[in-house]
Amino acid sequence: MGSHNKKNEVLRWIESNQEQLVELLRSMVKSRPVNGALSETENEKEVQKIVGQVIQDMGLCVNSVPVDLSQLEAYRGMPGFVTGYTDQIDFTERENVYTRIEGNNTGEKRSLMLVGHADVVPVENPEKWDYPPFEGQEAKGFLYGRGTVDMLGGIAGMLIAMKAIQENHVKLKGDIWFGSIVGEETGGTGMLAFSEFLRKEGIFADAAIMGEPTNLQLSLLCRGILWVDVEVYGKTGHLEVTQPHWSQGGVVSAIEKAFHLADAIEELNKDWESRPDKNHELLRLPCQAKLSKIQGGHHHSSYPDRCVLSYNLQVLPHETDENGLGTVTKREFEEYIAKVAASDPWMREHPPKVTWILEANCGEVPREHPFVDAFMRTAKEITPEITLTGSEFHTDNEWPQKLAGIPTVNFGPGNPALAHNDNERCSIWQLVEYTKIIACQCMDWCGYEEE
């Protein structure tokens, strides 16, 4: 009965302190932690100060792990360290922050790591928001703001769950580790640096929860991503003047050729829709090559001589090589582009250029891992409708498992479809439920003394 009462005390504390939870998330949003590689004026520095202050107020030690690319040379060319992209990113004053609630290491015990990224993507059109994107305004049962879903809400919930455990004097048997990570939105270099630190220091946890948005469902895997630019060439000339065929010195519209290529890539996507290697039982949608940007042309009265198509390709864990790279997918995409180009007389002589920009890895925790059933048992006490799922987007969950041996699931508040959106917003009810589940997971998995 003592055990049950102690858990109830923690749950009641979270209920009565939910405004503290909301205010913490609001302050994190207000700090404008836009990924430093995506902004000239903002980065994660201020939000990490807020995280550090909460940790300090709990009487815990605030530790930092810088992202030092010179210490990551062994991973050059791998996810998180893409040569020509990552090494152009400035990580000055952008440090990972971590701490530990130390258990008493008595009896049956296991350790748990709570981790997530502190950076958010920029806001391109603030005028399209119903509420200012960096104010954290509460309305209609939601907290509005960039990062409320992806994934400041997850970090805030983890911190308040830890505080609830501390405030109610729960005597844990195993350790709780917590990490707030930078640089996820540009490939995961922050998590690579943190995981390498864990490996070198011999810091281990029996399982980890990453607070990416899952709508309070337990996600056992994420997809990797490949960013690629396909540069298509043409031949310029006056747009308003009748031109001869290109073989006679005439013009070629690079944009028209690019559209032809884009149509062909849609045919590739149709093939991927039904292929087993591009699908997973926990995901609703297959991997696709999704067009994200088109850049072309230089003058209103000139034929465009260049057009760049930017694509995001998704990759599943079973498709990657021993280094976590999507080499098979890259090769298939390159060969397909070459095949399409070979069927067009102009592109056969002027083949498109394929440039890989970024690669972020993917990870999966087996359904049979003991943490999965343990997690579900605890979570169902609070949210009976919880189910297993997968994350259709990239998360940082592979590097902790690969380098530090820590199996990492995704579980967080917020609808992932609202991530990166105008009017990004997180349900306050979900935020509170999430915090309760995290606190109970810490207690049940790590073990605690009954009073």
DSSP one-letter string for 262-314:
HHHHHHHHHHHHH-GGG--TT-SS---EEEEEEEE-S-TTB--SEEEEEEEEE
User: Are 249 and 157 part of one and the same domain?
Assistant: no
Question: What is the mean predicted confidence (pLDDT) over 239-246?
Answer: 92
Residue 105 pLDDT exceeds 90: no
**pLDDT tens digits for range 35-67:** 999 999 999 999 999 999 999 999 999 999 999
Kindly state whether residues 321 and 379 are assigned to the same domain: no
Average confidence (pLDDT) over 159-181: 97
- Is-catalytic flag, 150? no
Residue 428 lies in a domain: yes
- Predicted TM-score (pTM) of the model is 0.92
Mean predicted confidence (pLDDT) in 220-230: 96
Question: What integer pLDDT is reported at residue 57 of this predicted model?
Answer: 97
Q: What pLDDT sits at residue 2?
A: 46
Asked whether the predicted pLDDT for residue 3 surpasses 60, the reply is no
CA dist., res. 35 & res. 121, Å (int) = 6
pLDDT at 4 over 80: no
Mean pLDDT of 419-427: 97
> Does residue 146 sit in the same domain as residue 188?
yes
The larger pLDDT score, comparing residue 432 to residue 360, is at 432
Q: Indicate the helix (H) or strand (E) that contains 399.
A: helix 398-404
State whether 326 and 387 are in the same domain.
no
Q: Are residues 127 and 41 in the same domain?
A: yes
For 409, phi then psi, to 5°, come to -100, 165
Mean pLDDT of the 227-231 span? 97
Residue 185 is among the residues annotated as catalytic for this protein: yes
Which position among 138, 175, 185, 424 bears the catalytic label? 185
Q: Per-residue DSSP letters for 174-236?
A: S-EEEEEE--GGGTSHHHHHHHHHHHHHT---SEEEE----TT-EEEEE-EEEEEEEEEE-B-
Q: How large is the average pLDDT for residues 221-240?
A: 96
Q: How many domains does the chain have?
A: 2
What percent of the chain has pLDDT above 90? 95
Provide the pLDDT for residue 451.
67
Same domain, 145 and 260: no
Q: Are both 40 and 143 inside the same structural domain? A: yes
Tell whether 381 is covered by a domain: yes
Residue 25 sits in a domain of what CATH number? 3.40.630.10
Residue range 16-31: average pLDDT? 98
pLDDT (mean) for 218-245: 95
Residue 330 is assigned to a structural domain of this protein: yes
The CATH number of residue 230's host domain is 3.30.70.360
Q: Are 136 and 63 members of one domain?
A: yes
Catalytic residue among 95, 119, 212, 319: 119
- Residue 139, amino acid: A
Same domain flag for 334 and 207: no
Per the structure block, which two tokens stand in for 431? 């935020």
The band of 230, judged by pLDDT with boundaries at 50, 70 and 90, is very high
Residues 70-86 pLDDT 10s: 999 999 999 999 888 99
Confidence of residue 424 (pLDDT cuts 50, 70, 90): very high
pLDDT score for 321: 92
In this prediction, residue 300 carries a pLDDT of 96
Encode pLDDT of 117-145 as tens digits.
999 999 999 999 999 999 999 999 999 99
For residue 164, give the nearest of 446, 450, 445, 438 by alpha carbon. Answer: 438
Q: Which of 338, 360, 382 is the last residue of a domain?
A: 360
**Domain identity same for 62 and 143:** yes
pLDDT, average across residues 175-201? 97
Give the percent of the chain with pLDDT over 70.
99
Render pLDDT for 279-328 as a digit per residue (tens, 0 to 9): 999 999 999 999 999 999 999 999 999 999 999 999 999 999 988 899 99
Q: What is the pLDDT of residue 240?
A: 93
| Inside any domain, residue 451 | no
Q: How far apart are CA 320 and CA 323, in angstroms?
A: 8
Cis preceding-peptide flag for 191 (omega within 30 of 0): no
pLDDT at 404: 96
Question: Is residue 1 scored above 70 in pLDDT?
Answer: no
Band of residue 421 on the pLDDT scale cut at 50, 70, 90: very high
Domain of residue 182 covers: 2-222+363-446
